[in-house]
Structure 1
Amino acid sequence: MAAAASATERWVRTGEVELCVAEWGDRTQPTVLLVHGYPDSKEVWSQVAEQLADRFHVVAYDVRGCGRSTAPSPLRGGYTLERLTDDFLAVVDAVSPDRPVHLVGHDWGSVQAWEFVTVSRTEGRIASFTSMSGPSLDHFGHWIKQRTRRPGPRRVGQLLGQGAKSWYVYALHTPRLPEAAWRGPLGKRWPRLLERLEGIPAGDYPTASLPRDGAHGAWLYRDNVRRRLLHPRTDPFAHAPVQLITPIGDAFLSERLYDDLDQWVPQLTRRTIAAKHWVPRTRPDQLAAWIGEFVSTIEASGRSSVRTGSPKPYADRFGGQLVLVTGAASGIGRATAFAFAEAGARVIAVDRDTEGATRTAELARLIGAPQSWAETVDVADEAAMEKLADKVTSEYGVVDVLVNNAGIGLAGSFLDTTTEDWRRVLDVNLWGVIHGCRAFGRRMAERGQGGHIVNTASAAAFQPSRALPAYSTSKAAVLMLSECLRAELAGQGIGVSAICPGIVNTNITATTRFTGVTEEEQKRRQEKSSRLYGKRNYPPEKVAEAVLRAVARNQAVVPVTPEARGARLLGRISPKALRGLARINPPM
C-alpha cells in the first residue's frame, strides 16, 4: 500500500480463516473501518487511509480469500453474509473492543456492510456507516419486487436499465468461467482496463494477488445474490446513521436503486459525486473530506443525532464538490456562487475585482460553503487563466463544475463600433469562455471522472438586434461553442450547458459602453438602462437557480426569463418575425 510505511499489520482469526488487518494513526482516536469491494484488496483504500490517519484510527482488512487473508475451505458456502459478519465482528473486537467503529464500504465492501448495519447482533458496535457503490441486497430485493408487482413504464425502464448494468453478475454465476478468466487473460489485463476506463493509474493497486482475489470473490455473488434478491429480509433497517455517496457515472449501479432508501434508514445523509465506480482510487480527497466530516459530526453529537436527508436544495448533488465561478464579484456570478455555497459546495470566486471576489468568498462561507476562496484574474488573459488552473488544481483539486460567467456589455451600431471595441468585447465574452473551457475542461477530461461546464450566453445569442451587434455576436459564439463542446465532451462524462438570460437586474447596465456618443450621453444612457432593468427587477438569484438545475439535469440550452424563452420560441416558429423585431431601435 502507498501508506504501508506508516501502517502496522496484524492477523485476526475468525473460524478457519485468518484476516490480514492494517492500522494507521492514533488508536485512542475514533476508529474508521474501511471494507473493500470486488475484485479489490485493502490496497484500494490506501490513499483514503493516508488522508484520514492524521485525525482517526484507520483500519482496513483483506476480506477472506483476498490479498493476504486466507480463504475458507471449501469455497462454496464460505462467503455468505453471515460468515462475513463474523469476520467483521472479529476485526472490531480486535481493533476497537471498547468503542463502536465508523464503518465505510465500497462495492462489495458496502454490500456486506449493509448487512452489518442492519442485523441485531452488531447493534452498539457501529457508530456510523458510509456507503458507496454497493446496495443492500435486501433493499435491492424489495426494490425489484415493488417494480415487478406494479410494472408501470417508468418502473419497467428502471428494471431493464439496472438489468443491463448488472451483466457481470450473470457471468459470475457461471461455473468455472470466472476463475479461468481471472487466472488467465482478465487477471493480466485488469490494471490496464481500469486505467483506460476509469483513469486509475496502476501504481501499487491492484496487487499481485488480483487473479486469486477475483477467482475467490466470485463466491460472494454465488453465495448471496440469488438467495437475497429472491427472499430479502423483511427487517433490514439501519441501526446507525448512514451517509450514502453515489457516483453519478457508475457503470454498474443505477442511481434509481436508492430511491426508496429513506424507508430503511431513519438517519440518512445523501451525497453524489461526479465520478465513476472506483471512487476510492479516483477521488480519495473528496471521500476523505466527507468521511471525516461525517465522523466528526457524529462524534461531536455524542452519536445521539446526525443531520438527515438533504436540508437544502441540491445538497445531495453538489455537497462538497469544487465549483469555480468567474465574474463572481457581483450580479449573476455572485448569486451563482451563493447558490452553490448553499448546496454545500466548495466555491472559488474569480473576478478582476479583488475586493468583490473576496467579499463573495466570505459570504459564501457564511451561507454554507464548507470552504471558499477568492482569486483575481482577467479571463481575457490566456496565460493568467492557465496559471490559475494550475494553482486551483494543485491547491484545491480538479474543478467539478466550471461556470464561465464573466462578461461585459457593449451597445451601439456596427458602423460606430471600433476594432478596439470589438476586440475587447470578444476578448472577455468569447475568449474568456474559451480560456476557461480549455484550461479547466482539459483537467476535467484528464481526471476521467466527468464534470460540468456552464457558459453564460444571453437571450441576445438568438435574438438579433441593431443596437447590440458586437455583444450579440459574442454571445451567439458562446452558445455555439457550448453546443460543440457538449458534443465533444459527452463521451467523457462532461456536460456542457449554455445559460441564456434575458433582462436581469445586475450592474452590467451601469458598466455597458455605448459607442458613437459623447461621454455625457454615454453616462445618461447607462443610468437610463439601469433604471429600466431595475423596473423589470428580475433577480439574478433566479438565473443562479437555473444554473444549478441545468447542471443537475445536464440541460443543453437554458433560456432564462420570459423574454428569453419567447425569443427562442419565436426564432424557431417564425424567424422572419424575429428579424423584424431586430430592426426596432430601442429608445435611448
Structure 2
Amino acid sequence: MTLQGARERWVRTGGVELCVAELGDPAQPTVLLVHGYPDSKEVWSEVAGRLADRFHVVLYDVRGHGRSTAPQPLRGGFTLEKLTDDFLAVADAVSPDRPVHLVGHDWGSVQSWEFVTVKRTEGRIASFTSLSGPSLDHFGHWIQRRMKRPTPRRVGQLLGQGAKSWYVYLLHTPVLPELAWRGPLGRTWPRIMSRMEKVPSDNYPTSSLSSDAAHGAWLYRDNVRPRLLRPRADAFAHAPVQLITPLGDAFLSERLYDELELWAPQLTRRTLPAKHWVPRTRPDRLASWVGEFVTSVEGGRQEPRTASGPHADRFGGQLVLITGAGSGIGRATAYAFAEAGARVVAVDRDGEAAARTAEMCRLVGATDAWAETVDVSDEQAMEKLAAKVATDYGVVDVLVNNAGIGLAGSFLDTTSDDWRKVLDVNLWGVIHGCRLFGRQMAERGQGGHIVNTASAAAYQPSRALPAYSTSKAAVLMLSECLRAELADQGIGVTAICPGLVNTNITSTARHAGVDAEEEARRQKKSARLYGLRNYPPEKVAEAILRGIVNNEAVVPVTPEARGAHLLARFAPGALRRLARVKPPM
C-alpha cells in the first residue's frame, strides 16, 4: 500500500505551505495522522490504506518535512505553538465542521499531546491515539517528581530513560546532526532501520529523508529543554486518549507513562510486543486499534471494549488464524484468543461452522473475526487463502494448524486411499499452513508463532492407529525442525499433544477394514468412552495460549498425554509393550 491515488492539497499557515493528502470518504469521521522524526507522512501509508475504507484519512508533512516548506529562519520555527497553528489550519481545511480523531507517532505524538492539552484546540479533537511519544510537559513533571524524591527505584528509572535518550543530546549539538544526516547517516539509515527494527524498505523512507532529518533537529532544539525545565501545570487532555506502548521501544521507557491517568482521565492503555516504528512494522494491528477506538468514541463510548481474558496483554490485537475452527479444539481455541482480544480468522471446510465460530468470537471479545472456507489438504486453495488473508487482514501473528481427521484400524486393513486421505489432511494440511503463513511471517521480519496440533499418538505407538499415529509423529518432528530453523527469525513453533479430549473427531473418525454398520458402531462406542473421560477442549485451548506465551516446544495436555510423554523419554520399552495390547472393539 502507498499513498498513490490520494487527493492532495496545500494549506498555507505561518509562512509555510503544508502538503496534505486525503484518502477515503470526507463524509466519514476524519482520522488525522501526524508523523514523527525523521519521517514524512509516507510512514503512515500502510496504516492509512487500511483505514481509508471506513474513515476520511488525512496525512500531512510537518513543516520542513517531505513536500512541506521549511520556516525561515529555522531557529524558533518549530515550536509547539507554531506546530499547533499548523494542526488547526489543516483540521479547519479538511474537517471544518467536525472534530478530528488524532493519531501521532514519535514526534507526531509529542506535538499531538500539545494539541490535545491546550485550550485553543478544545472542540477540534474527538480523540487522540498516542504511540511512542510522550507529552514534554508530562515528561518534565515525571522527571521533577523523581528528582524531588530520589528513591533507588526512581533513580533507576531516571538513569534508564536517560540512557535511552542518548540521541536527544546529540541533536542539540550545533551543525553536527545536519552534517551527519546530509552525509553518511542519511545514506545508511534505510539499512539501519532494516537491520535494527526489521522495517520493510519498499517505499520508505522517502528521498527527502536527509533534509527532513536535518530540519527536524529543530523540533528538539526549540522544545525539549524549555518544556522539561518549565513544564505546564495545566497539560490535561480534553479528549479521550488511547495509549499504545511498544514493549520493545529502544527510545522510550514504559515507566514514562506510569502516572498518565493524572493527565488523561479518559485513558485506554494497550501494549504490544514490537519496537519503535510500529506504523511500518505492525500497520494491521495499529489500524485495527485506531479504528476500534474511533468507532467507540463516535458511538458515544469513552472507551472501547477491552479484552479481559487470560493473556490479553500478549494477544490483544494480534491476528490469529486457526484451521479446523468449526468445532472441538479449534473452536475452543478461537474463543480463547477472542477473549484475549485477538483478531481471529476461523478456517474450516464447513463454511457454516466457521461462520458460527467467527460470530461467537466477536461476541466474546475479539477485536474482529472472520470466517474462511478451505480444505487444508488442497494446496491451491491454501495458497489462495494465504494471499487473501495477507491482503484483507494482514500478516498472521499466530497460526494454529489444528485441522485433522481420525483413522483407526490395523495396518494391513488400511488401504492406500486411507493413507492418502489421512496424510493429506493431518500432515500436508500442516505443511501447507507452515509453508505459506510461515513464509509471510519470516518476510515481515517481526516474529510470530506457529502451533501444530499433533497428538499423544505421535510418541505413543498403537497397533490400532498406525496411519493416524504416523501422521501425528510426522507433525511432531516437522514442528521440531521448524522450531530450529525459524528461531533466528523470532518465530516460535509449538507442537500440542492433547490426548483423550471430548470432541467430535471420535464420531467422525473412519475405521479401516470394516463395513459401514460396524464403523458406525465403533464410532458410537469411541464417542461414548471419550464422553465419559470428558476432558474439555477448552483446557487444550488454555494450553495452546500458555504454550505460546512460554514458547514451549512440546505441550502434552491431558494427564495420560503427559504420562506417555515421560515414558517415551525415559522408558520407551514400556510403551512398546503397551502398544501390543489389542484394544477392545
Q: Give me the TM-score of the superposition, normalised by structure 2.
A: 0.83
Alignment of 1:569-588 (within 5 A): 569=566, 571=568, 586-588=583-585
2:3 corresponds to which residue?
A: 2
Deviation at 1:430, TM superposition (A): 1.7
Give secondary structure in 1 for the equivalent of 2:39.
Answer: coil
Alignment of 1:265-284 (within 5 A): 265-271=264-270, 277-282=276-281, 284=283
Deviation at 1:492, TM superposition (A): 3.1
2:559 corresponds to which residue?
A: 562
Give secondary structure in 2 for the equivalent of 1:9.
Answer: strand
Give secondary structure in 1 for the equivalent of 2:405.
Answer: coil
> Pick from 18, 22, 27: which aligns with 2:16?
18
> Pick from 494, 508, 518: which aligns with 2:505?
508
2:200 corresponds to which residue?
A: 200
Q: 8 Å contact 2:296–2:302 — kept in the other structure?
A: no
Deviation at 1:183, TM superposition (A): 0.4
2:390 corresponds to which residue?
A: 393
Q: Bigger CA drift: 473-482 or 131-140?
A: 131-140
Q: Structure 1 residues 475 and 230, CA, compared in 2 at 3 Å: closer, same or farther?
A: farther
CA–CA separation in structure 1 for the residues paired with 2:360 and 2:165: 45
Question: What one-letter code is carried by the residue in structure 2 that aligns with 1:557?
Answer: V
**Is 1:532 aligned to residue 529 of structure 2?**
yes
* Deviation string, structure 1 residues 477-514 (Cα, Å, up to 9, x no partner): 32232232233223334332222212211011122334
Alignment of 1:446-457 (within 5 A): 446-457=443-454
* Deviation string, structure 1 residues 414-471 (Cα, Å, up to 9, x no partner): 5655554444333222221011111222123233343332211223334444544443
Question: What one-letter code is carried by the residue in structure 2 that aligns with 1:198?
Answer: K
Question: What one-letter code is carried by the residue in structure 2 that aligns with 1:105?
Answer: G
Percent pairwise identity: 75
**Is 1:323 aligned to residue 324 of structure 2?**
no
CA–CA separation in structure 2 for the residues paired with 1:471 and 1:558: 19
1:101 corresponds to which residue?
A: 100
Alignment of 1:342-357 (within 5 A): 342-357=339-354
Q: Structure 1 residues 516 and 256, CA, compared in 2 at 3 Å: closer, same or farther?
A: farther
2:332 corresponds to which residue?
A: 335
CA–CA separation in structure 2 for the residues paired with 1:261 and 1:295: 20
Q: 8 Å contact 1:34–1:60 — kept in the other structure?
A: yes
Question: What one-letter code is carried by the residue in structure 1 that aligns with 2:443?
Answer: E
Q: Structure 1 residues 183 and 245, CA, compared in 2 at 3 Å: closer, same or farther?
A: same
Q: Bigger CA drift: 494-503 or 255-264?
A: 255-264
Number of residue pairs matched? 580
Alignment of 1:368-517 (within 5 A): 368-369=365-366, 371-414=368-411, 417-515=414-512
Q: 8 Å contact 1:497–1:555 — kept in the other structure?
A: yes
**Is 1:298 aligned to residue 297 of structure 2?**
yes
Question: What one-letter code is carried by the residue in structure 2 that aligns with 1:456?
Answer: T
Q: 8 Å contact 2:6–2:21 — kept in the other structure?
A: no
CA–CA separation in structure 1 for the residues paired with 2:564 and 2:161: 40
Deviation at 1:220, TM superposition (A): 3.4
CA–CA separation in structure 1 for the residues paired with 2:572 and 2:150: 50
Q: Give me the TM-score of the superposition, normalised by structure 1.
A: 0.82
Alignment RMSD (CA, Å) = 4.0
CA–CA separation in structure 2 for the residues paired with 1:574 and 1:220: 67
Give secondary structure in 2 for the equivalent of 1:436.
Answer: helix
Q: Bigger CA drift: 238-247 or 84-93?
A: 84-93
1:66 corresponds to which residue?
A: 65
Q: Structure 1 residues 483 and 82, CA, compared in 2 at 3 Å: closer, same or farther?
A: farther
Give secondary structure in 2 for the equivalent of 1:505.
Answer: coil
Q: Which consecutive residues of structure 1, in runs of 5 or more, have no partner in the other structure? A: none
Q: Which consecutive residues of structure 2, in runs of 5 or more, have no partner in the other structure? A: none
Deviation at 1:217, TM superposition (A): 2.0
* Deviation string, structure 1 residues 251-287 (Cα, Å, up to 9, x no partner): 6556676566556543333445676543434555554
CA–CA separation in structure 1 for the residues paired with 2:115 and 2:551: 36
CA–CA separation in structure 2 for the residues paired with 1:427 and 1:561: 26
CA–CA separation in structure 2 for the residues paired with 1:163 and 1:581: 63
Deviation at 1:128, TM superposition (A): 0.5
Deviation at 1:113, TM superposition (A): 1.9
Q: Bigger CA drift: 90-99 or 333-342?
A: 90-99
Q: 8 Å contact 1:455–1:498 — kept in the other structure?
A: yes
